[in-house]
Amino acid sequence: MSSGNFSVASKVKLPNGTLMPQIQLGLYMMSGREVKAAVRFTLGAGYRGFDSAQMYRNEREAGQAIRDFISSADNTGALTREDIFYTSKLASNSTSYQTVRQSIKQSVRACGLGYIDLFLLHSPYGGREARMTSWRAVEDAIKDGEIKAGGVSNYGVRHIEELMGATPTVAPVVNQIEVHPFNTQTHIRAVCAKHGIIVQAYAPLARAMRMRDQTILDLSSKYSCTPAQLLIRWSLQHGLVPLPKSVTPKRILENANIGGFEISEVDMGEMDALDEKLVTDWDPTEAP
């Protein structure tokens, strides 16, 4: 369990040696207009990581917003492309290697950033052959410099063991799954830890479905923080990389302001005990 003075400047080291921001902005279900405004604001507020996907249909706007900020007068810190960590994801696994390679190339073109820092297989759907073929395409995209690192998303224990059991040329550095106190995913997190895979937590705020939970309210009051700040801090202290999503400037700032308190071991245990296997969107982790 991690502790420390977390902030938007905090980073974790991926197995390939790359440093990845430990708090990133999730771009799920944001329109192109919302993405442009949110990315620009969050860059000014100190965020350096952005999580997009082919299925989000906002890769172009996310990349444009990053490029526009870098070249603008608002870039008082002289940020360059290399200071930004941009993630996208493959919409559909395929048994056609060329289809996946072309899809990756299209994502790189769409964002206009020259390369993608982290590219994930968005789900395990499609079956074993599609998963393995798609991963081979990711490996080759890394070799060709189109992406810097590869990972997976919504992979369950069996999917992780399947991929690692095949002794891939390049191992996944990330598994992005839904994780929060109401769905702690301990088994998946354990197998990822065994293989040195970092867990990114999407929906770390449980999509606001449990903000009025009494335990969350009591602990928020105890630590003089918002429920969202408490949930993000829980993720960080578990060594996760949370991807909170917001288009509201006030909440974007609040979500990053989690360095002023530390949840005690006892209270972390109390939050862990809230697990009810809550799924707020989809759950492909048991896919065949």
- Residue 195's nearest CA partner among 174, 179, 169 is 174
What is the rounded CA–CA span in Å between residue 113 and residue 111? 5
Q: Please tell me which residue in 47, 56, 86, 202 is annotated as part of the active site.
A: 56
Q: Please tell me which residue in 47, 86, 122, 202 is annotated as part of the active site.
A: 122
DSSP-assigned states of every residue in 50-108: EE--GGGT-HHHHHHHHHHHHTSTT-TT---GGG-EEEEEESS--S-HHHHHHHHHHHH
* Residues facing 176 on adjacent strands: 153, 200
Specify the residue for token string 């917001």. 246
Residues 188, 191, 195, 196: is their CA dihedral positive or negative? positive
Q: Is 102 exposed, middle or buried (0-12, 13-18, 19+ CB in 10 A)?
A: exposed
Question: Is 122 assigned a catalytic role?
Answer: yes
What is the rounded CA–CA span in Å between residue 66 and residue 98? 29
Question: Is 155 assigned a catalytic role?
Answer: no
What is the rounded CA–CA span in Å between residue 166 and residue 282? 27
- Residue 201's nearest CA partner among 184, 181, 177 is 177
Residue pair 103/66 in contact by the 8 Å Cβ criterion: no
Q: Which residues contact 199 (CB under 8 A, 6 or more apart)?
A: 174, 175, 176, 177, 179, 185, 188, 189, 192, 239, 240, 241
User: What are the catalytic residues?
Assistant: 56, 122
